Amino acid sequence: MTTKQEAAEAVLAAKTRLGLSWAQLAETLDAPLAWTTSALLGQHPVPAELAAKAAQVLELNTDAEAALRLQPTRGALDDVVPTDPTIYRFYEVLQVYGPTIKELIHEQFGDGIMSAINFKLDVSRREDPGGERVVVTMDGKFLKYQWG
């Protein structure tokens, strides 16, 4: 059985070999960019129709295609504190601004959380006189603490 991790590696290899971008793959699948990326990296089950499309464009074998459809056990970081600088900066944001985000969610919504399940993510580029900027938007349903 091909694992989702092995399928993700096959995706990355094919993507590089074929010169495809995530944006092109998302367009092919007619799915959101960040969802497409995380699903092909193994963090979401891919619906059968999309898995078939992905397998076709990425020239994956049927085992890899089947693996894309599997339910994942999620969690993609090898270390509790990530070592890759591009990923670490978001951990640093949590260290510096975590309690700020918590205060503002509670002030604006009351006691509860931003869902990471009913959730979408976007990464985009913004031009600015001071240099181009990375804009990451996290958009999750507010879940109020309620007793059943």
Restricting to residues 24-63, name those near a copy of itself by CB under 8 A: 32-35, 37-38, 41, 43-45
Residue 81 interacting with a copy of itself (CB under 8 A): yes
Residue window 84-103: x/- pattern of binding to a copy of itself, with contact defined by CB under 8 A: xxxxxxxxxxxxxxxxxxxx
Q: Is 92 among the residues known to form the active site? A: yes
CA distance 5 to 126: 32
Residues 3, 67 contacting (CB under 8 angstroms): yes
Specify the DSSP class assigned to residue 45: P
Residue 132 interacting with a copy of itself (CB under 8 A): yes
CA distance 67 to 46: 9
Specify the DSSP class assigned to residue 43: S
Q: Is 38 among the residues known to form the active site? A: no
Residue 111 interacting with a copy of itself (CB under 8 A): yes
Query: What residues are labeled active site?
Result: 89, 92, 115
